[in-house]
């Protein structure tokens, strides 16, 4: 018996196209300055970033671009809230992640590295993020820093 499998090429994701308020953006900028962080660029959506290395391969172009990264996420006081293990990576479709990542990751190519400073509305907003033991990892309305190294992109 021969079976056929329908090839579904439609993408179930869309970009969030979120934008931070001017109040959030100003508060984030002031917080960065208070933590002696002065060198960054501004994105129109309201986050700040520093491109450490632009990369030289493909860039993510769509919500269903599969992205492989290693990363470290921190609060502004440098408390690590999430990361890939040393030498490990994680993969996802770009449309599956927080709004700030959806906009920031396409700013670099495969092999690139970017540090992203996100206001709450482009991160986890008013959600409280807890670990598996129920401890608060990311308090509500937190500004976040992510150091993201893009290992591979498949469009």
Q: Is 122 helix (H, G, I), strand (E, B) or coil?
A: helix
Per-residue DSSP letter, 72: E
Give domain status of residue 116, yes or no: yes
Report in angstroms the alpha-carbon separations of 96 from 2, 36, 65, 99: 35, 32, 10, 9
CA–CA dist 26, 33 (Å, integer): 11
- In this structure, the strands spanning 144-154 and 113-118 are antiparallel
Give domain status of residue 9, yes or no: no
CA–CA dist 77, 35 (Å, integer): 8
Give domain status of residue 12, yes or no: no
pLDDT in tens, the chain (155 residues): 444 444 446 788 888 888 999 999 999 999 999 999 999 999 999 999 999 999 998 999 899 999 999 999 999 999 999 999 999 999 999 999 999 999 999 999 999 999 999 999 999 999 999 999 999 999 999 999 999 999 999 99
CA–CA dist 36, 77 (Å, integer): 11
Structure confidence at residue 30 (pLDDT): 97
Strand extents, DSSP E, the chain: 41-42, 48-53, 66-75, 80-83, 90-93, 113-118, 129-130, 136-138, 144-154
Q: Domain span at residue 144?
A: 22-154
Structure confidence at residue 5 (pLDDT): 42
Structure confidence at residue 7 (pLDDT): 45
Give domain status of residue 13, yes or no: no
| Degrees, nearest 5: CA angle 81-48-67 | 60
Structure confidence at residue 9 (pLDDT): 62
CA–CA dist 120, 112 (Å, integer): 24
Give domain status of residue 108, yes or no: yes
Give domain status of residue 10, yes or no: no
Give domain status of residue 6, yes or no: no
Total domains in the fold of the chain: 1
Structure confidence at residue 3 (pLDDT): 40
Give domain status of residue 36, yes or no: yes
We report the CATH number of the domain holding residue 72 as 3.10.50.40
Beta bridge partners of residue 115, listed in sequence order? 50, 147
């Amino acid at each position: 018996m021969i079976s056929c499998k329908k090839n579904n090429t439609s993408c179930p994701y869309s970009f969030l196209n979120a934008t931070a308020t001017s109040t959030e953006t100003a508060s984030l900028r002031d917080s960065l300055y208070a933590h002696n962080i002065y060198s960054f660029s501004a994105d129109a959506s309201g986050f700040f970033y520093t491109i450490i290395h632009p990369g030289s391969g493909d860039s993510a172009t769509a919500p269903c671009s599969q992205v492989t990264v290693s990363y470290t996420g921190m609060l502004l006081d440098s408390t690590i809230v999430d990361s890939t293990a040393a030498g490990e990576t994680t993969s996802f479709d770009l449309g599956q992640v927080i709004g700030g990542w959806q906009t920031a990751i396409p700013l670099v190519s495969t092999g690139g590295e970017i540090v992203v400073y996100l206001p709450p509305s482009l991160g986890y907003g008013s959600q409280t993020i807890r670990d598996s033991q129920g401890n608060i990892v990311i308090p509500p309305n937190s500004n976040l820093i992510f150091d993201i190294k893009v290992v591979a992109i498949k469009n």
